[in-house]
Amino acid sequence: MADLIKNPVDGIKPEIEDRTSTKTEERETEMAPPAAGSSIHRSGSRPQLDLSGAAIQGNFEERDPTILLPNQSDDISHLALDIGGSLIKLVYFSRHENKSAEDKRKRSMKQRFGISNGNRRSYPILGGRLHFVKFETAKINECLDFIKSKQLHCGGMVARCWPTDALSNENVVVKATGGGAYKFTDLFKDRLGVSLDKEDEMDCLVAGANFLLKAIRHEAFTHMEGQKEFVQIDQNDLFPYLLVNIGSGVSMIKVDGDGKFERVSGTNVGGGTYWGLGKLLTQCKSFDELLELSQRGDNRTIDMLVGDIYGGMDYSKIGLSASTIASSFGKTISENKELEDYRPEDISLSLLRMISYNIGQIAYLNALRFGLKRIFFGGFFIRGHAYTMDTISFAVQFWSKGDAKAMFLRHEGFLGALGAFMSYEKHGLDDVMVHQLVERFPMGAPYVGGKIHGPPLGDLNEKISWMEKFVQKGTEIIAPVPMIPPGTTGLGGFEVPLSRGDTLRSDASSLNVGVLHLVPTLDVFPLLADSKMYEPNTIDLSDHGELEYWLTVLSEHLPDLVDKAVASEGGTDDAKRRGDAFSRAFSAHLARLMEEPAAYGKLGLANLLELREECLREFQFNDAYRSIKQRENEASLAVLPDLLMELDSMSEEDKLFTLIEGVLAANIFDWGSRACVDLYHKGTIIEIYRMSRKKMQRPWRVDDFDMFKERMLGLSGKKPPPHKRALLFVDNSGADVVLGMLPLARELLRRGTEVVLVANSLPALNDVTAMELPDIVAEAAKNCDILRRAAEAGGLLVDAMINVQESSKEELPSVPLMVVENGCGSPCIDLRQVSSEVAAAAKDADLVILEGMGRAIHTNFNAKFKCDALKLAMVKNQRLAEKLLKGNIYDCVCRFEPAS
């Protein structure tokens, strides 16, 4: 086999070409004005634009002339607000820019798989982003400036196309809730020319909570003794539940369904009580200052504990430990001290515990009263403060004897604003499914110091400048981290909480709430045996040691990645500046996760790798390995004809084994692996491929080849029918796809199996993309009749001009070879979120092949399917080899699982 490799390409090394790419910046989509007299119709859409009487105002030759809408009456806002006494919360929507070209191949795929806009839910907005932003109410003018700069009150349309003058009238309405919706109504009218449509606070709270619990996979979590654990809520079993909103006072709402709720109880002892008493007793000037004091407090100097009554002993007969609070502030009765004799820190902590315990107890008693299993807490009082959540959780656990748990929401500060947003008629988000939302965590100003800031930085130059300032300031600008989890002293209470310094390190940083990307074209992979039980991540990063290891791996790989990214943009000064900013930003993300692993939700290795790719794209490195992939594709395509010739000379059994061996050997080419990167410096890709094949010996670490061979070739002369359709999830460019997966696809085609190559929608490391694959297939088809006919049948050669050698004498099947994008841009894949094209192609598929470490080991190693599944990968990480497979680096996995 090694002899087929020809010398002319041996000298091609995987060096980086200097080539400048076109830069694309993610920005708010501009709505191009329709022709006068036409109308916009969107089934189930937000209120439509009335274009009757529309006229161009000004010079007709202008590139973006002003268009006047004299009869526009409906609101077209994509903004909603919750204006509280301390904070203004904004939720706003921005459209995704439609970057995907509707080429012939894509249209052909849609027709073949029966995908049309009429077959899917008709979304008014074909994709977009939900943003969550906070401002201090005292700085309301900054909030108004932000709204105006983005034209959010006018549907996010830029002023040059849809001038404020044309829309600033009494007909433009923005939904708002909270007391400020009344207090500042004139200010919004004067500054923005809009009217605030006031929504009921409780309606909004419930609507916001329902949306989050149904649409976001890792929204709810428990918090006990400093440990955050996410809880998956089945949206079909969500109701009823108790929503406890802790603001100035406390409302307890029994929620029975969408729009069905009842305020069943409450208490006037809430956040206002804590802040009011705290202000009187400690002279604190802000709520945050009071919380900061509590972190350094010792409530034992003020609270009367069970041990104070019983001489330091537990009251074990009724299950009370010595540290249980018997009476809040009770110790002050017997002490002859004045207020100034007590430390403000101790007073603050005693207050916090008293009120949190009281709220937790009342909440549980109401849940018990109505037989409710779930209790969700939210509101301004909590604000992601770890000790507050621990105290409430302890109270619920204590009074329920462990039968109930307090749960919290990641977006709890935005319930009201989100509910107000949902109150727009025809907003199109009513039945969004959990798989259609993807949360991203961009870098921005809210990262500074854990304090409440304005919106994330959006402009690229702003981001770069801020990251440079980040470096200059050094330790002055750090990632916000929570306090160290307090220890416990038995059933009763907590010891003195430990502080991480003089600044409050709550979980309330804006960075903990990302941007929700709505992607209506994402579906659940229909061939999963049980999508509810499916967990993509193989590695459990809740183990701190495991998390630390992988964060270190990513950190060590960062310099090499930055070099590749800068080189992909031609090595310009601008590219170097962006590369440095990316490095600082991603390092800051890693540092944040090291301090608080659950900061961004439930974390898996797939999430980490996707975070890296998103961060690259944020600084406009859209394909860091582009030139490397091109060179490796060229080198591999040059030797492909000899490989196919040798395969065709083999027996059926030898050929099948050689094909699988070839996939495993070629999978060594992975620029995401440190071990592989080291190999690249020691030889050409062909030399590495040759070495890889020589070292492979059976049995492999996971070796189900014989079982797969039996399914393909049969036993005792009984040949089984071929698979009808196979989905091949491909991995890397170069030898991996050209010398590994394409020959395997060719053999399946020869046997009469339709083949769908599933590749990334966006670049990730050196992974091949769906946009690149047709050109690779077209090149390969120049020397192979099987691939050419299949590619023609699959619509891959519609735009390609190729010269084909004399046709083979063998009669060839006309089954198609197709390419679809998987819907993601990561080395891993979550099969709960694949493109609609993949989901449609899967409906008639009876074989799934997952190839590569990211797709077959890091994710989906334990996934079960309704059809036959083959998982192929070479392990390029020593720790993974040892922990998961009890083996070594470069071990191979060939895992075949018949249809379940």
pLDDT in tens, 408-429: 998 888 999 999 998 887 566 7
What is the rounded CA–CA span in Å between residue 428 and residue 444? 29
Which of 133-147, 207-221, 497-511, 625-639 is the least confident region? 497-511
Q: Where does the pLDDT of residue 660 fall: very low under 50, low under 70, confident under 90, or very high at 90 and above?
A: very high
Where b means 16+ CB within 10 Å and e means fewer, 3-27 reads eebeeebbebebebeeeeeeeeebe
Residue 589 lies in a domain: no
- Whether 194 and 312 map to the same domain: the answer is no
Residue 14 lies in a domain: no
The pLDDT assigned to 678 comes to: 55
State the pTM of this model: 0.82
Residue 374 lies in a domain: yes
The pLDDT assigned to 762 comes to: 94
The pLDDT assigned to 139 comes to: 86
The pLDDT assigned to 484 comes to: 29
Residue 565 lies in a domain: no
Residue 141 lies in a domain: yes
- Whether 291 and 195 map to the same domain: the answer is no
The pLDDT assigned to 696 comes to: 77
Close Cβ partners of 335 (under 8 Å, ≥ 6 residues apart) = none
Tell me: cis bond preceding 240? Omega within 30 of 0 counts. yes
Residue 16 lies in a domain: no
- Whether 204 and 222 map to the same domain: the answer is no
Q: Give me the mean pLDDT over the 753-760 stretch.
A: 98
Which of 79-83, 494-498, 738-742 is the least confident region? 494-498
- Whether 478 and 401 map to the same domain: the answer is yes
The pLDDT assigned to 334 comes to: 87
Q: Which two tokens stand for residue 552?
A: 């270190």
CATH number at residue 341: 3.30.420.40
**Does pLDDT of 581 surpass 70?**
yes
What is the rounded CA–CA span in Å between residue 301 and residue 303? 6
Planar angle of CA 439, 535, 670, nearest 5 degrees: 80
Question: Under DSSP, is residue 27 helix (H, G, I), strand (E, B) or coil?
Answer: coil
- Whether 193 and 241 map to the same domain: the answer is no
Residue pair 570/20 in contact by the 8 Å Cβ criterion: yes
Q: Give me the mean pLDDT over the 888-895 stretch.
A: 91
Residue 180 lies in a domain: yes
φ, ψ of residue 754 to 5 degrees: the values are -65, 140
CATH number at residue 136: 3.30.420
- Whether 188 and 83 map to the same domain: the answer is yes
**Does pLDDT of 685 surpass 70?**
no
Q: Give me the mean pLDDT over the 192-216 stretch.
A: 93
Which of 192-201, 241-250, 316-325, 632-641 is the least confident region? 316-325
- Whether 733 and 881 map to the same domain: the answer is yes
Q: Give me the mean pLDDT over the 331-346 stretch.
A: 93
CA dihedral (684, 685, 688, 693) in degrees, to 10, reads -140
CATH number at residue 675: 3.40.50.10880
**Does pLDDT of 162 surpass 70?**
no
- Whether 253 and 138 map to the same domain: the answer is no
Q: Alpha helix (H) ranges present in 193-302?
A: 201-215, 271-282, 287-295
**Does pLDDT of 654 surpass 90?**
yes
The last residue of one of the domains, among 491, 520, 549, is: 520
Which of the two residues, 470 and 482, has the higher pLDDT score? 470
Q: Alpha helix (H) ranges present in 69-129?
A: 104-113
- Whether 132 and 237 map to the same domain: the answer is no
Q: Where does the pLDDT of residue 701 fall: very low under 50, low under 70, confident under 90, or very high at 90 and above?
A: very high
The last residue of one of the domains, among 153, 173, 208, is: 208
On the 0-12 / 13-18 / 19+ scale of CB atoms within 10 A, 285 is exposed
Q: Give me the mean pLDDT over the 779-786 stretch.
A: 94
The pLDDT assigned to 686 comes to: 58
Question: Under DSSP, is residue 275 helix (H, G, I), strand (E, B) or coil?
Answer: helix
| Number of domains the chain is built from | 3
Q: Which residues pair with 261 in a beta bridge?
A: 255
The pLDDT assigned to 669 comes to: 63
Residue 682 lies in a domain: yes
What is the rounded CA–CA span in Å between residue 637 and residue 194? 61
Where b means 16+ CB within 10 Å and e means fewer, 195-209 reads bbbebebbbbbbbbb
The last residue of one of the domains, among 208, 236, 256, is: 208
Q: Give me the mean pLDDT over the 93-108 stretch.
A: 64
The pLDDT assigned to 62 comes to: 40
- Whether 179 and 297 map to the same domain: the answer is no
**Does pLDDT of 602 surpass 80?**
yes
- Whether 36 and 138 map to the same domain: the answer is yes
State pLDDT tens for residues 364-392: 999 999 999 899 998 878 877 888 999 99
**Does pLDDT of 849 surpass 90?**
yes
736 C-beta neighbours (distance < 10 Å), count? 29
- Whether 229 and 149 map to the same domain: the answer is no
The pLDDT assigned to 729 comes to: 98
Q: Give me the mean pLDDT over the 167-188 stretch.
A: 84
Domain coverage including residue 694: 626-897
**Distances in whole angstroms, Cα of residue 169 to Cα of each of 70, 154, 173, 192:** 11, 11, 9, 9
